[in-house]
Amino acid sequence: MELGFVGLGRMGAPMAGRLLDAGHDLVVHDVDPGAVERLTARGAGAAASAAEVADRAELVLTSLPTPEIVREVVLGASGLAAGGRIRHLVELSTTGAPTARSVAAELAGRDVVAVDAPVSGGTGGAAKGTLAIMVACPADALAVVEPLLAHLGRVFHVGTEPGLGQAMKLVNNYLSAAALATTSEAMVLGTKAGLDPRTMIDVLNAGSGRNSATQDKFPRSVLPRTFDHGFATGLMEKDLRLFAEEAAGLEVPLRVGSAVRQMWQQASSELGPASDFTSIVRLVEGWAGVEVRDDSGGSAG
């Protein structure tokens, strides 16, 4: 079975590469010709449009940045729904539950099953095949897609209805965003008080303050001042907007969430939406007049 892949960005390209490495035939499309060329050099076939991908592949995976782009790529005039061969769409993007449900309903009328399957684990997880994949689809569709998704990471079947994968992903990203924002404030405070940043990270990771930011993001991208973790500030702001919309629809108040979202909105505005999301610490550093930096030459753990 020839597979299709649309969206060869920071996450899509390594995921598509893993499918190629696993021996699958793959036809790809992206708005960036260079991204397509890098995959065709590894053996993938190229398609001029998403519709052409869906004319050649029965199962298509997509990794796209926003709900609006997802709708256009799937349902637009030259989108996947215009293809004649596609029977399963695996949506790896973070779109929010309403988009997942509306796209699934539209595709169902065309005899295409939509698999809601957002991922978490960053570009490193995409390259290593260690992503967490939150899949919502019927059991028969899961039997089709799970062997393929196993090349990308660990599959969690979170439900049968489209949108449940999105809900799980937004819960995950909200906690990730909150951890990074609060850790930035804590690390700036400790640094300004005179504590050594590397020592702080070591203590936090041995204690009850440990979280995803102290374990990974600060040691890897903040303390060495590389800010290269691979996820954009603007995308995190987008995910928090989707989380807030989901909360409003479910009538769940977000007391802490509102403050977290406001901080990320300011980070995107001041640092730029294309900045790496670990750069949010720079926002707090600017307010406090101090830098969180490891000058020891070692690596925090």
Q: What is the pLDDT along the chain (301 residues), one digit of tens a residue?
A: 789 999 999 999 999 999 999 999 999 999 999 999 999 999 999 999 999 999 999 999 999 999 999 999 999 999 999 999 999 999 999 999 999 999 999 999 999 999 999 999 999 999 999 999 999 999 999 999 999 999 999 999 999 999 999 999 999 999 999 999 999 999 999 999 999 999 999 999 999 999 999 999 999 999 999 999 999 999 999 999 999 999 999 999 999 999 999 999 999 999 999 999 999 999 999 999 999 999 875 444 4
CA atoms within 13 A on the CB side of 84: 0
Asked whether 198 and 224 are in contact (CB, 8 A), the reply is: no
Is it true that domain 3-161 has CATH number 3.40.50.720?
yes
> Bridge partners of 26?
3
Q: Radius of gyration (Cα) for the chain, nearest Å? A: 20
> Bridge partners of 116?
91, 136
List, in order, residues 6 or more apart from 248 with CB less than 8 Å away: none
- The 3-state DSSP class for residue 49 equals coil
pLDDT for res 299? 44
> Bridge partners of 201?
none
pLDDT for res 2? 85
- Report, as residue numbers or ranges, the catalytic residues: 169
Measured between alpha carbons, how far is 124 from 216 in angstroms, rounded to an integer? 11
List, in order, residues 6 or more apart from 276 with CB less than 8 Å away: 221, 227, 228, 229, 230, 231, 232, 233
Superfamily in which the 167-288 domain is placed by CATH: N-(1-d-carboxylethyl)-l-norvaline Dehydrogenase; domain 2 (1.10.1040.10)
**Residue 28 parent element (H or E):** strand 26-29
What is the full DSSP assignment across 179-201?
HHHHHHHHHHHHHHHT--HHHHH
Asked whether 185 and 222 are in contact (CB, 8 A), the reply is: no
pLDDT for res 297? 58
Entry pTM:
0.93
Q: Within the chain, which residue ranges are assigned CATH 1.10.1040.10?
A: 167-288
pLDDT, tens digit (0-9, with 9 covering 90-100), for 216-270: 999 999 999 999 999 999 999 999 999 999 999 999 999 999 999 999 999 999 9
Q: Within the chain, which residue ranges are assigned CATH 3.40.50.720?
A: 3-161
